[in-house]
Amino acid sequence: MRAPLPMSVQIKSAEDIAAMRVAGRLASELLDYLEPHLQPGITTAEVDTLAHDYMIDVQKTVPATLNYAPPGHTPYPASLCTSVNHVVCHGIPGDRKLKSGDIVNVDVTVIRDGYHGDTSRMFFVGAPSIQAKRLCEVTYEAMWKGIRAVRPGAHLGDVGSVIQKHAESHGYSIVREFCGHGIGRNFHEEPQVLHYGRAGAGLKLLPGMIFTIEPMVNAGRPGIRCLADGWTIVTADHSLSAQWEHTVLVTDGGYEILTQSAGTPAPPPA
Ligand code: MF3
Ligand code: CO
Ligand code: CO
Residues with a beta carbon under 5 angstroms from ion ligand 2 = 118, 212
Three-class secondary structure of residue 66 per DSSP: coil
Question: Measured in angstroms, how far is the CA atom of residue 221 from the centroid of ligand 2?
Answer: 22
> Which residues is 97 bridged to in the sheet?
43
pTM for the model? 0.98
pLDDT in tens, 113-171: 999 999 999 999 999 999 999 999 999 999 999 999 999 999 999 999 999 999 999 99
| Per-domain boundaries in the chain | 14-257
Fold of the domain spanning 14-257: Creatine Amidinohydrolase (3.90.230)
DSSP element (H, E) containing 254: none
CB distance 181 to 3 below 8 Å: yes
Is residue 3 very low, low, confident or very high in pLDDT (cuts 50, 70, 90)?
A: confident
* Cα separations in angstroms, 32 against 26, 47, 112, 264: 10, 13, 18, 8
Q: How far apart are CA 202 and CA 198, in angstroms?
A: 8
Q: What is the CA radius of gyration of the chain?
A: 17
**Best mutation site among 55, 105, 107 for ligand 1 pocket (most ligand atoms within 8 Å of CB):** 107
* Cα separations in angstroms, 100 against 40, 104, 126: 5, 11, 4
